[in-house]
Structure 1
């Protein structure tokens, strides 16, 4: 039985706790022993992206302290963005420091949920998962470019009973969120969201699905603002449906 430490990003914890609980449901269904350290906070990405390297390093050091550095014990998150931060950007923060080797241990053990299920455990379907309708998939920048995740979420989603995939145009194009980018460059960010949503709608899909709640939060704001007939769902929410 794999030991899994949950890393629940701060925005998921505060805004989408049900997605986190659905990930727990899915992981336990495939036989994982799930652990959660309630002292965990943020991976440090907001500070890092804003150029506050020293402050983000403090948060990153806390991240290392929050997760046991034990071989065979995995760290799994419902956010490819945060996983990409830990895997990639921490290399700069801890380069040449006393914590570098400890970081390497974490780097090898942290996974986004779908890649963990498919690539580590070899799980290709979640028994009982059922959702009737058509979906289109958004490849988040972090999942695709930082983590190399493309087929794993599609493999799992395509196995859900009643669900049909319709690929949209430019599915690998950024949604426009980008953290503080959406605040600093609002007009560009909204225009990118509009393009993504319109491409999704053009497929006839009822659901817009992704590995990243941050992207979905941004797209859902546009959808709600303009009353568009499509619903955003995280992969974990789909896989936990119907059982």
Structure 2
């Protein structure tokens, strides 16, 4: 009767005791875990998953067009300054399409140059645009073509990589120079606190202030059809002086 009144947990413990002496530790651990384990567990995690910066997660719903890299001429300075790091590399050229393979090679070049040092590298661009090509020996037509590779279209003066850590500036400058040699286009080394760039003009100074660069361009007729008196006076002065 006593054996029938034992619960299944005690029965498993007695069997573990009798089978082997080395199973005592395992039985005790099982007893502790069953007594301390909560009845309800969270089935989700609050830690964000790290996405791949060389390819999008879900792919493309439709084939993307070739397009052109953006040249911010409407007064935007977004993405032209450093956010997290102390040093970085910035694109000076325009109309550049950088493939995911080139970005990966540049990243590997920086890590190879700074191997053994304490730093953290940030990526500011991601290859999320698909490039579709047809074979060289195929006739015209027959669709857009098959998928070839992922690429990024960074705008002019866009920061591509940022770096922060206990590294000398000369070493970081050399690493960024080597990475720029692996990428298409022209690049420049930037530091924390450098002025932003609007288009291809650096914001700063008397002529490069943000208000002056965002002002409307006055033609021969001025604003709203009114004559430009300043331009007219200059032309009249030039004619009278001759």
Common fold by TM > 0.5: no
Higher relative contact order (CA 8 A, sep 6+): 2
Query: Could you tell me the TM-score, scaled by structure 2's length?
Result: 0.21
Higher helix share: 1
Bigger Rg, which one? 2
